[in-house]
Structure 1
Amino acid sequence: MGASQIHLVRHGEVYNPSGVLYGRIPGFRLSERGELMARSAADDIVARERPIARVYASPLQRAQESAAPIAELTGLDIRTEARIIEPTNHFEGKVMSRALRNPINWPVLRAPSVPSWGEPYLSIADRMVRAMEDAWNEVADGEGDVVMVSHQLPIWTTHRFIAGEQLAHDPRRRRCDLSSITSFERVGDSFIEVGYSNPAAGLAAGAIDVGAV
């Protein structure tokens, strides 16, 4: 038994005119462009003509708002899942280009492989995969797919963990665009990645994308 596929969907663009790293700071909502991005992701999921059994979202406002059009189109309620939230981060509320030039912040950069400035990558991967496993087990065989709306770093860390890749990475090289969809299936006791799509690519030009490092 279990879900057919699990889709990790990233939220859309956030209204962030100051360009700060917002992390878990409350009150950061989707921009108008972000709402269009979220609708693009929802349309993409529905266009696959696969039954959707559950819709989960991180507790943060931008994830809940990004899950809303998926819930609307599928007729499902949004289930809040705390384990797929953005990681904690020393640089929350700061503009990274300025923060990195300030010597007071340099000590937190001492161990980028952990990373020392936020929640360890291994911790992120562990909670994400456990949330996916629980969601997969909750769905009866043949009932359909699970959608989980999360954030760039948790999704990319999950991708690398499941692929058996080193978790430390260059944040500038993540393949996890705004409102992108990374899909997984269960094979035996493990997940495998089976697809990636970027339905909001046409809306990405000029978007502000500085959620976490």
Structure 2
Amino acid sequence: MSVTTVHLVRHGEVENPDHILYERLEGFPLSERGERMAAATGEFMASFAPFQNVAHVVSSPLERTRQTAQIITDRINTFRQTHHLPALVCHTDERLIEASNEFRGTRIGYGQGALWRPKNWKLIANLHKPSWGESYEHIAQRMHEVVLDLVDAHPGQQVLAVSHESPIWSLRMLLEQGSPEHWMFARRTALASITSLSFDCDSHELLSISYANPAADVA
């Protein structure tokens, strides 16, 4: 049986001093701490098999995910160079992008983002099935599609895909529970964490899910 593992990595901390809901907005790169978080995850991946054997790297097109992917890839490439392996190159896929959100550009709890406003309260009436933007079902389905495409394109290999909290967790809930709906405050997808999904290449059966948080102690 041939097995492909897709390692879904969440981006590192973002530079956001005004606490804006940035969603898909441009101009929100990694903070210095976020860069250190990505570096910690990259060092972790460069230190252990099977991460060292990643054959393909892809990320959401947003700046923070591209930065995270590049920092991690640089660490893995340092290992690969010393073992005379070809260098990895980062690619992007729109389907890995952050979920759309009607609150984008606002500061949650203040002004137009204040939850006490009637129009906003209606949007968050059911946090399991959000009405403020892209549904969990749509998020999970596009993530599932890109992951299975990666399985088909890289049979028997390791793949790194850098995305965002909501897309990663929505897909995990779909695969584990059969439904992507969840309580948003109970997600287990820390910054720069790794959620690894292993699939049978022929049947697309999910074989295992594992989780690692190499950047947990980064200050």
Give 1:198's aligned amino acid: N
1:28-62 C-alpha deviation (Å, 9 max, x unpaired): 10000000000111112122222110000000000
Which of 83, 88, 95 is matched with 1:76 structurally? 88
Aligned to 2:44: 44
Aligned to 2:82: none
What's the secondary structure of 1:112's corresponding residue? Answer: coil
Deviation at 1:191, TM superposition (A): 2.3
2:127 aligned with 1:127: no
Q: Is the 8 A contact 2:173 2:182 kept in 1?
A: no
- 1:25-44 superposed matches below 5 A: 25-44=25-44
- 1:167-182 superposed matches below 5 A: 167-182=180-195
Unpaired runs of at least 5, structure 2 = 78-86
State which structure, 1 or 2, has the greater radius of gyration over its C-alpha atoms: 2
Identity over the aligned pairs, expressed in percent?
Answer: 38
**Farther off after superposition, 93-102 or 24-33:** 93-102
What's the secondary structure of 2:109's corresponding residue? Answer: helix
What's the secondary structure of 2:40's corresponding residue? Answer: helix
CA–CA separation in structure 2 for the residues paired with 1:170 and 1:180: 19
Q: Is the 8 A contact 1:4 1:145 kept in 2?
A: yes
Q: Is the 8 A contact 1:2 1:136 kept in 2?
A: no
CA–CA separation in structure 1 for the residues paired with 2:61 and 2:152: 21
Give 1:40's aligned amino acid: A
CA–CA separation in structure 2 for the residues paired with 1:95 and 1:200: 27
Deviation at 1:164, TM superposition (A): 1.7
Q: Is the 8 A contact 2:198 2:209 kept in 1?
A: yes
TM-score (norm 2): 0.86
Unpaired runs of at least 5, structure 1 = 205-213
Deviation at 1:106, TM superposition (A): 2.3
CA–CA separation in structure 2 for the residues paired with 1:158 and 1:46: 26
CA–CA separation in structure 1 for the residues paired with 2:93 and 2:143: 10
Give 1:12's aligned amino acid: G
Give 1:52's aligned amino acid: V
- 1:150-161 superposed matches below 5 A: 150-161=163-174
Aligned to 2:60: 58
1:58-86 C-alpha deviation (Å, 9 max, x unpaired): 00000000001222223211110110100
- Residue 82 and residue 2 in structure 1: after superposition, are their counterparts in 2 closer, same or farther (change >3 A)? farther
CA–CA separation in structure 1 for the residues paired with 2:88 and 2:63: 18
Cα-Cα RMSD: 1.7
What's the secondary structure of 1:97's corresponding residue? Answer: coil
Which of 211, 215, 219 is matched with 1:196 structurally? 211
Q: Is the 8 A contact 1:83 1:127 kept in 2?
A: yes
Aligned to 2:107: 95
What's the secondary structure of 1:185's corresponding residue? Answer: strand
Aligned length: 202
Aligned to 1:209: none
1:117-163 C-alpha deviation (Å, 9 max, x unpaired): 0101111111001100111111143xx30000000000010110110
1:157-188 C-alpha deviation (Å, 9 max, x unpaired): 01101102543222221100000000010133
Q: Is the 8 A contact 2:172 2:180 kept in 1?
A: no
Give 1:53's aligned amino acid: A
CA–CA separation in structure 2 for the residues paired with 1:84 and 1:2: 25
CA–CA separation in structure 1 for the residues paired with 2:49 and 2:90: 20
Deviation at 1:96, TM superposition (A): 1.8
